[in-house]
Structure 1
Amino acid sequence: MSDLDLDELRSELDDFAQPEKKGGRSPREERAIAGFEEIQRFVEEHGRAPQHGEDRDIFERLYAVRLDRLRALEESRALLTPLDYQGLLAGEEIIPAAPVEEMDEDELLAELGGAGSAPEITELRHVRSSAEKRAAEEIANRTKCEDFDEFRPLFVQVKKDLDTGVRQTRPFQTMAEIKQGEFFIVGGQIAYVAEVGEEFQTQYDRRDSRLRVIYDNGTESDVLLRSLQRALHRDEAGRRITDPVVGPLFSRENDDGDLASGTIYVLRSKSDHPLVAANRDILHKIGVTGGDVARRVANAKLDATFLLADVEVVATYDLYNINRTKLENIIHRIFDPVRLDIEIKDRFGNPVIPREWFLVPRFVVDDAVERIKDGTITQFTYDPQTARLVRRDHRD
């Protein structure tokens, strides 16, 4: 057989030859490369190497762990260095903000599908676990809240509190506790935890509960507590709405160096308006001023906010080192159920609705001031039926 015939035969047989593996790499090496490429895509998207820390996304933390391992394994560096156009393998080792062992087990193990105990870094995979998928489905699976009218006033009040600064929003801390009666922002909606069911143990021996969560768009969902935690953690705009805590407002006695911030004043109107005259003993204007009270009320009969009548100063309370606006908002919120509903004409004939007059006995105002002093005022609300301050119910 001639050389030409041999060449033709070899060419034909080459068509049936077993194809070589890409680059002659083993499956383990291919997985290592794929894992490293995921880190490279993260760097391209964020402009930095992945970092450790509880405030980081779970996958960024996993990439940081993976990169540490790849840097530490000599065979991985030899394999990946030709592909390392970003210089990741040559960079300094990332120092974790907190040990990986301190990461929440549910969060780490569920996200990795068991890879947390894997001996090889190539077993770390960018996948959504079944637990994460269930959490997302639970949050998204909302139904109409049939008794939303019972909850509507709560959302109206919390929005008002946010507008006035009585409440604030804070980033949700990883796997932080969630309690009945708390408000959150998740998925662009204000969420209220109306009910917390009985506690049970998960497959990772973690505590969990079933929640009834009401949203300000009139829907509700039946979710696991830990599912809501994960949803808040993964939502970049997820927030906890703080309780209406005022903090220390003023002390019982002013110390040297304390700054006198203003005064709470309680006034009684001398107006002859029928509604005012009929309730004169319990109708009070409650306000806060940074100036002199006498000067503040000097021209009361010319001011529609004072009902265009002279007033009697019933009581005053000095304040030290406080936010006057926040304090006034809190006081008005407490007594909002008995706010006087009245409209009068000002000196120019324009309609005015005064907002600082309340049908509340003087002794209740004194009680409220004491609650402010000891820092417990946010635990109370005013009950018009019993004419006293009562502790808040979680559903109030």
Structure 2
Amino acid sequence: MPEAIDYLNDELLLTPDEKPKAAQTPLLLRAIEVIERINAFIDETGAEPVSEPGRSVRERMLANELAGLRASKADLDGLASYDTRNLLFGGGGGADPLDDPLLSDGLDIFAVRDELKPMARPDFVADRRPCPDFERFEPLFQDIRNAVEEGTRKPQPFRQERVELGEFFVLKGQLVHVADLRDEHRRNGKLDARLRVIFDNGTESNLLMSSLVRRLYEDKDARRIGVTDSGPLFMGARTGFVYVLRSLSDKPEVQGLLKVGTTAGAVEDRVAHAETQSAFLFAPVVIVETYELVGHSAKETEQRIHQALRPYHIALRVTGPDGRSFSSVEWFKATPEIVEKAIRLVLAQG
């Protein structure tokens, strides 16, 4: 059978004023979805979204996405027909050359004014790089945006001493996701760790937990994306998991021990890189059991379970690949039955 010809896109049959239709790549489809949300915002408010202190989280997120589209418009030719407000391609959003501060007064063109001096960049920006598997995280960011708009998740002021695996935050108008946590250690007497942080513009960073916490506190508009009703019992929302693990380490002092802890994200994600983390003794682990937390604070539940298992607690120290020594907690010399009984007792007490 002869090959079918697409007459609509055959370049030989197009008039000089026509161009072949651009294929809608995943990147273009996402850009279309973003600009449609921005257009909807302008329909509601009558103005472009702006990212500045005092603006809503939704507006700052949209303003950040608009800036990303403007920076990438050279690779988004197919987006022009959706740019109905000329935000990207029709000169919209651009500065008037006559308003250039170098041309608006009598200063020497080589004189550097205070407001034009280079600004110091945050240290966590310096080591950002493209996220090679961003397609895994993109649906998560979209789910968070939808949940914020629907009111099922509520941006809350940041008041934490640490962050947990799987959490989402708004920082400087950008959505931030803690995708991995490893190499837990003590830094200046406080627990710290190396993170894999994914930003909603397709970049990532491996900053320290202490650095992320500091930046979240420095940004007065930073928010944690929590559930809507975040009272003492979280109104029936799933708040994480309790996990029971067994180490696959061949060290004799580890045999017969179980690790008990909690996580806000999936247990499989929490232990995916166990061999790189002091908390897991730099060795793989096997999941013995997991318990879903509904209506319980994960951290409070963990503390109560550890208190119930205190008679079985074992203090361990482990030496990392770099020769540094770490203390590792949450390990207990107890049977799975004893651990299960303690967990169920704590969960039943509410």
Fold equivalence (TM over 0.5)? no
TM-score (norm 1): 0.29
